[in-house]
Amino acid sequence: MITRSELQLLRSLRDKKHREEHGLFAVEGEKIVGELLAAGHPFEQIYGTPAWAGRKTHEIGPADMQRASHFPTPSPVLAVGRIRRAALAPRELALGLTLALDGVQDPGNVGTILRIADWFGLARVLLSPGCADLYSAKVIQASMGSFARVPTFVAPLAAALAGCPVPVLGCALEGADIHTLPVPAAAVIVIGSEGRGLSAEVAGLITAAVTIPRIGAAESLNAAVAAAIVCDNLRRPRT
Amino acid sequence: MITRSELQLLRSLRDKKHREEHGLFAVEGEKIVGELLAAGHPFEQIYGTPAWAGRKTHEIGPADMQRASHFPTPSPVLAVGRIRRAALAPRELALGLTLALDGVQDPGNVGTILRIADWFGLARVLLSPGCADLYSAKVIQASMGSFARVPTFVAPLAAALAGCPVPVLGCALEGADIHTLPVPAAAVIVIGSEGRGLSAEVAGLITAAVTIPRIGAAESLNAAVAAAIVCDNLRRPRT
């Protein structure tokens, strides 16, 4: 039996404000919940209708699911997870590749970047507070399960990168050619916002600007596309 | 003075069926119309409210724009272009790099891929009829003006690629490593659909499968992300 206040809580999690207040987030959809369960994500609660064949902690009727759901057409499963905000010590950046997102606001881009970080085996993704909320449905959906596998941190980049023990590479329209740049074993790669590029405070912290050579006429590349090309270049064997 | 039937026509262009019937498409928004005009796109009509400072062929009042617009909050400009369907002779594929999209259904991905093709100076983009409609607002919007610069063709890929005079590379989860593949001066690179990959008929036509080495655990990469990484690899100097 689902209480009215429980339904209200579930519905409220569509808003960042309420997610922060309760320290909880909600994910809906058979595919994405299945992917996150397969990746071992430790959900607090899994509400499933009789039609949901996967693991559940609560059975919920279709009418109640309609009330709890954030979607006009609810799916048979809604899972609730706990928001985790880990602190990142600067010395941790010394190990592996870190992707740092400087105000990447589009949730589809943030989710796609988590998927890219997962594909290329990056050590972690660091998000500035101005990025799309990591716990929004769109970010989690676009990450295709990578949300559960990639270690993530949210922190002001100026503070997180001050005293960084490894190179901080900033992706920009002008800089060293990513094709010929010597590949560091550990580094932070900063991806700027879709419209404004790197913020002034972060631009002052980068040790080198790197660029993807352009042959044609497009003004810029999408943030996720740029992140992917940079990751591929840092992961390719150099002769 | 805008007639009622003119307003109806403009509104109808949100649907592919009506676009095809009239041979016309509509683009709204100051930024995207401005980008397309800057790229020299030959619009048939440009409806602008008094607030639109750019080139216009018709002045339209805000109330009529509200009626013509496809959006709840209309922009000050709506431009109408003519759909062009050029035929592609197989011998044309002999020149430069062609990106072929095999059922890429997400309009954001198709638009992003046009932007990538533009950035990397590809010769053309070929779309199977199962792809998102090239003339939909979302595709044009996501292309950020590249829609006006990249030559595009829509045709069944099996017919278009039969007898192709250059290598046809298919992007897949298993294949030759894109990092070490010899780079051809001219080639077709086929990107499969987001969910199903390459179609059976196209898989039979490829001369080599190519893959982006994976280090981590993500199941796949987004179609636009994969296209970008492949293009970057085909455009990098090889030693």
Domains parsed from chain A with CATH numbers: 4-82 (3.30.1330.30), 90-235 (3.40.1280.10)
Of the candidates B27, B213, B176, the residue with the CA atom closest to the CA atom of residue A232: B213
The pLDDT value recorded for residue B238 is: 66
* A180 C-beta neighbours (distance < 10 Å), count: 12
Contact A117, A150 (CB under 8 A): yes
Q: Find the helix or strand (DSSP H, E) in which B141 lies.
A: helix B137-143
Query: Whole-angstrom Cα distance, residue B233 to residue B230?
Result: 5
Sheet of strand A58-59, all strands in order from the earlier edge strand to the far edge = A24-28, A77-82, A45-48, A58-59
For residue A158, name the pLDDT band (cuts at 50, 70, 90).
very high
Residue linked to tokens 């062009």: B84
**Which chain B positions have a beta carbon within 8 Å of A145's beta carbon?**
218-219
Across the interface, whether the CB atoms of B215 and A119 are under 8 A apart is answered yes
Per-residue tokens: B74? 């209309």
Low-confidence residues in chain B, pLDDT < 50 = none
**Which chain A positions have a beta carbon within 8 Å of B122's beta carbon?**
216
Measured between alpha carbons, how far is residue A19 from residues A14, A82, B31 in Å?
7, 9, 34
Sheet of strand A152-154, all strands in order from the earlier edge strand to the far edge = A152-154, A124-127, A97-101, A187-191, A168-177, A208-211
Across the interface, whether the CB atoms of B216 and A144 are under 8 A apart is answered no
Query: Whole-angstrom Cα distance, residue A20 to residue A3?
Result: 22
* Chain A residues with a Cβ under 8 Å from any Cβ in chain B: 39, 108, 112, 115-122, 144-146, 149, 179-180, 212-222, 224-225, 228-229, 232-233, 235-237, 239
Across the interface, whether the CB atoms of A112 and B222 are under 8 A apart is answered yes
User: How high does pLDDT run on average in chain A?
Assistant: 94
Which residue of A lies nearest to B225 if distances are taken between CA atoms? Answer: A225
Q: Nearest CB to A232: which of B121, B212, B237?
A: B212
Per-residue pLDDT of A60-101, as tens digits, reads: 999 999 999 999 999 999 999 999 988 898 899 999 999 999
What's the start-to-end Cα distance of chain A, in Å?
Answer: 63
> Coil, strand or helix: which one is A148?
helix
Q: Nearest CB to A239: which of B39, B116, B239?
A: B239
**What is the four-CA torsion angle of B27, B31, B34, B39, rounded to 10 degrees?**
-90
**Which chain B positions have a beta carbon within 8 Å of A119's beta carbon?**
212, 214-218, 220-221
Across the interface, whether the CB atoms of B214 and A117 are under 8 A apart is answered no
The pLDDT value recorded for residue A239 is: 54
Mean of pLDDT values over A140-146 = 95
How near does any CA of chain A get to the CA of B193, in Å? 16
Across the interface, whether the CB atoms of B116 and A221 are under 8 A apart is answered yes
Which residue of B lies nearest to A145 if distances are taken between CA atoms? Answer: B218
Across the interface, whether the CB atoms of A218 and B108 are under 8 A apart is answered no
* A5 C-beta neighbours (distance < 10 Å), count: 8
Substitution target from B232, B234, B238, B239 for chain A, most A beta carbons within 10 A = B232
- CA B138 from centre of chain: 10
**What is the four-CA torsion angle of B115, B117, B121, B122, rounded to 10 degrees?**
-160
Substitution target from B211, B225, B239 for chain A, most A beta carbons within 10 A = B225
Per-residue pLDDT of A44-68, as tens digits, reads: 999 999 999 999 999 999 999 999 9
Mean of pLDDT values over A129-138 = 97
* Chain B residues with a Cβ under 8 Å from any Cβ in chain A: 39, 108, 112, 115-122, 144-146, 149, 179-180, 212-222, 224-225, 228-229, 232-233, 235-237, 239
Of the candidates B86, B89, B153, the residue with the CA atom closest to the CA atom of residue B117: B153
Across the interface, whether the CB atoms of B115 and A213 are under 8 A apart is answered no
Of the candidates A38, A138, A145, A229, the residue with the CA atom closest to the CA atom of residue B220: A145
